[in-house]
Structure 1
Amino acid sequence: MRKLLRLVAWAVTLIFTMLGTSYAQTSEPIKIGVLHSLSGTMAISETTLKDTVLMMVEAQNRRGGLLGRQLEAVVMDPASDWPTFAQQTRTLIEDEGVAVIFGCWTSASRKAVLPVLEELDGLLYYPVQYEGQESSRNIFYTGAAPNQQAIPAADYLMREDAVGATRMILLGTDYVYPRTTNKLMRSYLNSRGISNADILEIYTPFGHSDWQDIITQMAAFANQGKKTAVISTLNGDTNISFYQELARQGITAQQMPVMAFSVGEQELSRLDTMGLVGHMAAWNYFMSVEAVENSRFIQNWQEYTKDPSRLTNDPMEATCIGFKMWAQAVEQAETTEVRAVRQAMYGQKVRNLTGGTAVMLNNHHISKPVLVGQIQADGQFVVIWNTNGEVRGDAWSDYLPESAGLTADWTYPWLCGGCKTPKYADE
C-alpha cells in the first residue's frame, strides 16, 4: 500500500511539474524585432518608427498581449549601414528568436535583409514607399508601391489644371530606390509625351550637404521657357540641406515646384518652412487629414510620447497597419509560426487613418489612398488632391519592359512572386 501511495505521489508530482513547465513555456513573451536606424543619416526618419512599434507593443500588452502572452520588443540600431541591417536580422531571428521584424526604411536596407529572411524563413513588415519590382513571401509591404505614389504624383504635376509641368528634374539619393523609381518615371514620362531632352536626372550620395552648384544647375534647366517640376527621391538628412539651399537661393514653388516622395512632417520639423510654402509631397497619409481615426491616433501618440507637439507621418501609419494586421493574423492562426501567420495575412483588413480600409492583398501589398500635400508656413501639409478611395498596390510595373505583364500571388497553390503564368507549389 505504501509503495502504491509513493507511486501515486510521484505521478502527481510529475504531472504538476510537466504542467508547470508547459505553462512557463507558453507564458514566455513573444519577441518582436525592431530594426530601425537610431544613428547615422537615416536616424532623422527611422527613430520615430522605432517609437511607433514600441507604442503598439505597449498598447497590445495592455489589452492582454497575444495568445495569452505579453510582447517584448527587441530593439536594434543598424546605424544606417546596410550590411549591419543584414547582420542584425540574423541576430534577431537566430539568437533572439523573434516572431516578426518591423523595420527598414531604405530599399538598400530591405535588399540587404531579404536573403537572410528567405534563408531563415523570417518575416518583415516594411513600412515605407519603395520602387516596386519585388514581391517576397517573407516581406509584407505596407508602404506605397509606385502606382500608389510615384505615378499619381507625376500625373498631378503634368495636369494643366494643377502644375502643368512639361519638363521634369528627377533628383535622388544614389541607391536602388531612386535609381529604379526614376527609371520607371522616365519610361512613364516618355509614354506621356515628355522626351528625354526634357528630363534631367541628378543623384547625390547619402548625407550630401553641398547643394549650391546643383540647385543652380537645376534652376538653369528650369529657366528655359517650359514649366519644370522636380520629383525628389532624396532620403534622410540630405533633405535638410537641400531645402535650406533651395530657400537660400529664393527658388519658390511657383518657379520650380518640388514633389517629394520621402519628406514628411518629421523632416519638415527640422526646417524653417516659410520659404518652402507651396512645395509638395505625395504620400498615403498626412497628419492634417481630418478623420476620427486620425484624431484618435494623434492623441494616443502624443500621450505616449508625453509631448503634445510630437508629429505623425505616413510611415508611422504604415507601421501601425502592419502591426495590427500581424496581430490579427496571429490570433486567427493561433500561433506565431511564420507559415501559419503568412497564410492568415491574406485578406486581413485594418482601418487606415484617413477613414478608409487597408486590405492585405495576395501579392503582399495593401490597398492605400494617394494624397498630394502642400507645405504650409506652420510646417504642416494641407491635402490639395487625393484619389477617390484606395488603390491596390502593384508589385510590378507595366511601364518597364522587364516587368510588364508580371504578377505576384503568394496564396496556395500559386506561390509566385513575379511570373506571367501560374507557378504551382508542386511544380
Structure 2
Amino acid sequence: METNSQQPAKPLPADSGWRVGVLFSRTGVTAATESEHFFGTVLAIEEINAAGGVDGRLLDPVVYDPKSDPDEYRRLASRMLQEDEVTVIFGCSTSSSRKAVLPVIERYNALLWYCSIYEGFEYSPNVIYTGAVPNQNSMQLAAYLLRNHGRRFFLVGADYIYPRESNRIMRDMVEQHGGEIVEEVYLPSDAEPAALQEVVEQIRAVEPDVVFSTLIGRGARAFYKLYREHGIDPARIPIASLTMTEGETRMIGPELCGNHIISASYVNTLKLPGNQRFLKSWRARFGEQPASMWSEMAYNQVHLFALALARTRSLDTAKLVDAVYEVEFDSPEGLLKIDRANNHAILTPRIAVCRPDGAFDIVWEGRHPVKPDPYLTSYGFAEFWLDGEPV
C-alpha cells in the first residue's frame, strides 16, 4: 500500500472494493508514532484482504500523508470525502489533528476511526475512539506513582490541547491525594535542544520524585536522551508517560530508557494468545521493527470495522456505528469492544517499566477491563483500587 499525495482516486464501480481512507503522517514532527499507526493499519487491511475481504469485496485504501500539519489533515480529509468517494477514514493521531478534521467528518456524515490515546472530554456520533482516555490510563498512573515513587511531581508537555488537559487532570488527581506539583512547563511540539536542556536542568535543580511527560515526537525523544546525558538516574527520578512506547525507545537508545514508566493498555510483552498471533504476523510483515500500542490499536480498529461491515454490508455511517456495538475482536491486548454510551473502547489498564533492551515489564494490571469515562464523571480515586487496596 503506497502513499498517494498527488492524484485523487477514480470512482469505483458499485461492485468493486470497499473504499476507505487512511490519513496518518509519514513525515513531520509525529512521523514516528503515526508511521506505526500506518503500519498497523496496513497489516490489518492485508490480513482482511488475504482472507477474501468482506462479503467478497476487498478493502480498497486511499492513502495520504498529512505531514503532521493540522491544516493538511483538514484539507486531505475534505479531499477524501468530496473527491475520492470515501466515507470511512482511519486517521489522525494528535488531538489537534482530530479537532481539525472533525467538522469536516460531521459535515459529510462520515465515520472517523481514531486510535490514539487522548485527553477525553469529547463525543461525536461520527467518531469511534479506540484509544484510552484518562480513567483508563492517567488515574492508574497517578495512583501508582504516588504509592511507589513519591509525592513531588514535575510536569512537562508540548503546548497544545492533549498535554495541557492531561496535565490538568494529573495535577488535580495528585493534589487531591496529598501530592505536590513542583513545576509545570510547556514547550513547542518540535522543541529546540536548548529549551529541552533548560527543562532538564530545572529537573536536576528541584529533584522531584517523578517527571510526568506529555512531550511528543522528536522533542520527546531528545528529552529522554538529554535526561541521561545530564546524569539524572531514572531509577531514582523516572519519567512517566502515556506515550513513550517500544518503537521510540529503540530510536532513543534502549539503554537510555531503562526504569522509565508507561501507562498503556498494550505493551508487546503481553502473554496473550491474541498477541502471539499479532506478533507473528507483524514480524513476518515488518521484521524486527517492534510493535507498540500505536500500531496495535490501529490494527485492532480495522478488524473491528471489518466485523461491523460484515454485518451491515454497507458503508452507511449510522448502520456501521450501530453494528460496531454488537461486535468484539480478540485483539492482542484482550477482548475489545466499543461502549454504546460514548463510542469509546473498553480497555484493561496496565503499567509497565522499561527494560534496558527497550521492552516493557508489566508491574501492574487491572483485574478487568475498564469502561471508558471520557468526561470523568467519577473524578478522582474514590472508586479506584490498586492491587485490591483503595488509594
Paired residue for 2:359? 380
Q: Is the 8 A contact 2:151 2:174 kept in 1?
A: no
Q: Is the 8 A contact 1:317 1:353 kept in 2?
A: yes
The structure 2 residue matched to 1:206, chosen from 186, 189, 193, is 189
Paired residue for 1:220? 205
Cα distance between partner residues in 1 of 2:371 and 2:327: 14
Q: How do 1:142-153 and structure 2 match up within 5 A?
A: 142-153=130-141
2:137 is the counterpart of 1:156? no
The structure 1 residue matched to 2:110, chosen from 122, 129, 132, is 122
Cα distance between partner residues in 1 of 2:199 and 2:172: 24
Q: Is the 8 A contact 2:136 2:370 kept in 1?
A: yes
TM-score calculated relative to the size of structure 2: 0.90
Q: How do 1:145-184 and structure 2 match up within 5 A?
A: 145-159=133-147, 162-163=148-149, 165-184=150-169
Q: How do 1:287-366 and structure 2 match up within 5 A?
A: 287-305=268-286, 307=287, 309-354=288-333, 356-362=334-340, 363-366=342-345
2:267 is the counterpart of 1:286? yes
AA at the equivalent of 2:239: V
Unaligned runs of 5+ in 1: 1-23, 402-427
AA at the equivalent of 2:170: M
Q: Secondary structure at the match of 1:391?
A: coil
Q: Secondary structure at the match of 1:25?
A: coil
Paired residue for 2:74? 86
2:374 is the counterpart of 1:391? no
Query: For residues 32-73 of structure 1, what are the alpha-carbon distances to aligned partners after superposition, in whole Å with 9 as ceiling and x for unaligned?
Result: 111011111110111121122122111111111122211111
Q: Is the 8 A contact 1:209 1:241 kept in 2?
A: no
Superposed displacement of residue 192, structure 1: 1.2
Cα distance between partner residues in 2 of 1:310 and 1:152: 29
Cα distance between partner residues in 2 of 1:228 and 1:292: 37
Paired residue for 1:5? none
Query: For residues 315-343 of structure 1, what are the alpha-carbon distances to aligned partners after superposition, in whole Å with 9 as ceiling and x for unaligned?
Result: 22211221111111111112111111111
Paired residue for 2:51? 63
Question: Displaced runs of 4+ in structure 1, greater than 6 A?
Answer: none
Query: For residues 212-246 of structure 1, what are the alpha-carbon distances to aligned partners after superposition, in whole Å with 9 as ceiling and x for unaligned?
Result: 22111122222xxxx62111111111121101100
Q: Secondary structure at the match of 1:182?
A: helix
Q: Secondary structure at the match of 1:237?
A: helix
Superposed displacement of residue 396, structure 1: 0.4
Superposed displacement of residue 194, structure 1: 2.4
Q: Is the 8 A contact 2:33 2:294 kept in 1?
A: no
Q: Is the 8 A contact 1:32 1:99 kept in 2?
A: yes
Query: For residues 98-132 of structure 1, what are the alpha-carbon distances to aligned partners after superposition, in whole Å with 9 as ceiling and x for unaligned?
Result: 23111111000011111111111111111111000
Superposed displacement of residue 261, structure 1: 1.2
Superposed displacement of residue 345, structure 1: 1.4
AA at the equivalent of 2:29: T
TM-score calculated relative to the size of structure 1: 0.83
Q: Is the 8 A contact 2:29 2:189 kept in 1?
A: yes
Structure 2 CA distance for partners of 1:216 and 1:76, relative to 1, 3 Å: same
Q: Is the 8 A contact 1:173 1:204 kept in 2?
A: yes
**Rg larger for:** 1
Cα distance between partner residues in 1 of 2:275 and 2:307: 20
Cα distance between partner residues in 1 of 2:98 and 2:16: 29
Superposed displacement of residue 386, structure 1: 1.1
How many residues align? The count is: 366
Greater mean alpha carbon deviation, residues 358-367 or residues 58-67: 58-67
Unaligned runs of 5+ in 2: 1-11, 381-391
AA at the equivalent of 2:304: M
Cα distance between partner residues in 2 of 1:181 and 1:102: 24
Q: Secondary structure at the match of 2:21?
A: strand
AA at the equivalent of 1:202: V
Q: Is the 8 A contact 1:281 1:372 kept in 2?
A: yes
AA at the equivalent of 2:100: A
Cα distance between partner residues in 2 of 1:315 and 1:138: 21
Superposed displacement of residue 400, structure 1: 7.2
* Identity value in percent: 29
